[in-house]
Amino acid sequence: MAKVHVTTTINGEPMEFLCEPNDTMLDALRGPLGLTGSKEGCASGDCGACSITLDDRLVCSCLMLAVESEGHEIRTIEGMAQGDRLHPLQQKFLEMAALQCGICTSGMLVASDALLKKNPDPTEEEVRFWLAGNLCRCTGYDKIVRAVMETAAEMRAQ
């Protein structure tokens, strides 16, 4: 099968890669692009571990073909910290132990970041509904939801 050449922007940087036409964006990220922060949990859009943003919109990278990223802007977990400085959500997840095994964490962070950009002052219910597409089998969600609420409060105060 002939490989397809794709030109896109990932975490603000222009990128080019080759992929099969039926590769998902997740395949491309974890394969030729070497960005393994996005995880494959279910590969069917149920678990959210592969969450990224496409033109600032939250999507599952397993439900998108890599070729569809041509000319668009992708953001992944690798673009969240600024060098050594963690994003406030990342810092708060650590402080409040909002992760255990870590497989869901990058998806949780990307999804929470997308929520706070859209709604800096979400209610707990809004956080829980927003994260309904991110499954975590360790924490029972409470610590994650609390960490998102706390981060939102701190970011609003700054």
Phi/psi at 43 (5° precision): 60, 20
- Residues engaged in binding another protein (CB under 8 A): 1, 4, 20-22, 24, 43-46, 48, 51, 54, 57-60, 62-65, 67-68, 70, 111, 114-115, 129-130, 132-134
Per-residue tokens: 84: 């050594």
At a CB cut-off of 8 Å and minimum separation 6, what does 139 contact?
98, 99, 100
CB of 60 to another protein, least distance (A): 4
Rounded CA-CA distance 110/59 in Å is 10
**Coil, strand or helix at 62:** helix
CB of 38 to another protein, least distance (A): 12
CB of 129 to another protein, least distance (A): 6
CB of 95 to another protein, least distance (A): 25
CB nearer another protein, residue 11 or residue 91: 11
CB nearer another protein, residue 95 or residue 121: 121
Q: Rounded to whole angstroms, what are the CA distances from 15 to 8, 41, 81?
A: 5, 25, 19
